[in-house]
Amino acid sequence: MPEQKLLFTPGPLSTTSTVKRAMLRDVGSRDAEFLAVVREIRQELLAVGGVREPEYTAIPLQGSGTFAVEAMLGTAVPREGLLLVAVNGAYGRRMVQIAERLRISCEAVEYPENQPVEVERLSQVLTSGQHFTHLACVHCETTTGLLNPIEDLGRLRDQFGFGFLVDAMSSFGGIPLNVAAARIDFLVSSANKCLQGVPGFGFALARREALEGCAGYARSFSLDLLAQWRGLETDGQFRFTPPTHALLAFRQALRELADEGGVPARYARYAANQQELVRGMRALGFKTYLEDQVQGPIITSFLYPPSPAFDFERFYGGLGQRGFVIYPGKLSQAAAFRMGTIGNLGVAEIRALLAAVRAVLTEMGVPVPVGGRAGMPKEIA
């Protein structure tokens, strides 16, 4: 079994050797060198989002991406506020669960998992007579890989005056998005997604006026974005012990993003990966859950093949023995698995995965369609 596996997941993901090496030293959390690293990271995050100080600010926060989502909801929505969540997957539903646990008044408008949020229907909900103070939505719904029309939803903000909260966990840094042009008040993401760092912290990009208006709202002592920002602005330090090694790795990852050509170049690589993957998987008899026009380049859901010989655990294990890690499905209505196309991967790695898929299917006795080699690259057909 290979010592180093390739991760075809939405994060944690395969990182470069230079990002890994950046963690191989210790720094003090209050040392001037480390505080300079944090400043650089905050500035670069704003640049990735197409915004700058003083209109927006970047706030790193210890913990997983879900910690950042909870911090956003718990900080941004006032005690008397009413939150509307657009839901078309597990991560939209998770925002509803977080809001309910925090005792935030919340309503959900639900869509099928294979359809993006429909702006017209959402507009009808917003004009129903209730005054929603905030709207929350997932940009790339990792349940399926579907992209929601964040820019179109942002235009509703001008009409209805709500605060716009976006979970861009699986899209930020991999799909071009101007945070200000999309009228986003708070956006959260994580170090170990499209920016190709390692787990350890998430972050928020916040419109400063909206952030400063949140005094007294936070439901949590540690997950308080306003308090975290005030600490960073005062002395450059995290309020509590920061994940120093993860932050060193992330600074290197941000520099590598710039060297690659920024978000447009990374998006192009991810899109090429995803297209190669879908072409090859379809040639092997798999069907995608989503229609191509709503599919993003981050992660793709494939339906189980109809063959009784297919068993996902054997399939997953067989790929793992060959050095490839994929993701189980998270759909509520269909049997599927997921394959990510982000991280330190290119078309060559996608083709190697496809060759392994063919080998595992053959080993399991799952037939490949007649003519199934037609869509495969020559070197693996």
**Residue where a domain stops, chosen among 244, 259, 274:** 259
d(CA 99, CA 108): 11
pLDDT tens digits, 265-308: 999 999 999 999 999 999 999 999 999 999 999 999 999 999 99
Same domain, residue pair 268 and 238: no
Same domain, residue pair 235 and 279: no
Q: Which domain CATH number covers 338?
A: 3.90.1150.10
**Residue 369 placed within a domain:** no
To which H or E segment does residue 363 belong?
A: helix 347-364
Tokens encoding 115: 């359809």
Same domain, residue pair 52 and 131: yes
**Residue 381 placed within a domain:** no
Q: Given this model, what pLDDT does residue 378 score?
A: 53
Same domain, residue pair 273 and 209: no
Same domain, residue pair 177 and 269: no
- Number of helices (H), then strands (E), in the chain: 12, 14
Q: Given this model, what pLDDT does residue 329 score?
A: 84
Q: Given this model, what pLDDT does residue 380 score?
A: 52
Same domain, residue pair 194 and 310: no
Q: Which residues pair with 190 in a beta bridge?
A: 202
Give the pLDDT band (50/70/90) at residue 371. Answer: low
Residue 295 DSSP label: B
To which H or E segment does residue 99 belong?
A: helix 90-101
> The domain containing residue 189 runs over which residues?
17-259
**Residue 379 placed within a domain:** no
CB distance 330 to 90 below 8 Å: yes
Same domain, residue pair 326 and 215: no
Which pairing describes strands 324-325 and 105-110: parallel, antiparallel, or unpaired? unpaired
**Residue 47 placed within a domain:** yes
pLDDT tens digits, 103-144: 999 999 999 999 999 999 999 999 987 899 999 999 999 999
Q: Which domain CATH number covers 99?
A: 3.40.640.10
Residue 324 sits at the vertex; the CA angle it makes with 255 and 268, to the nearest 5 degrees, is: 40
Same domain, residue pair 211 and 280: no
Same domain, residue pair 250 and 281: no
pLDDT (average), residues 1-8: 85
Same domain, residue pair 148 and 160: yes
**Residue 248 placed within a domain:** yes
What is the domain count for the chain?
2
Give the pLDDT band (50/70/90) at residue 375. Answer: very low
Q: What is the pTM of this model?
A: 0.94
Q: Which residues pair with 134 in a beta bridge?
A: 83, 163
**Residue 1 placed within a domain:** no
**Residue where a domain stops, chosen among 209, 239, 259:** 259
**Residue where a domain stops, chosen among 235, 259, 283:** 259
**Burial group, residue 29, by CB count within 10 angstroms (0-12, 13-18, 19+):** middle
**Residue 151 placed within a domain:** yes
Same domain, residue pair 50 and 145: yes
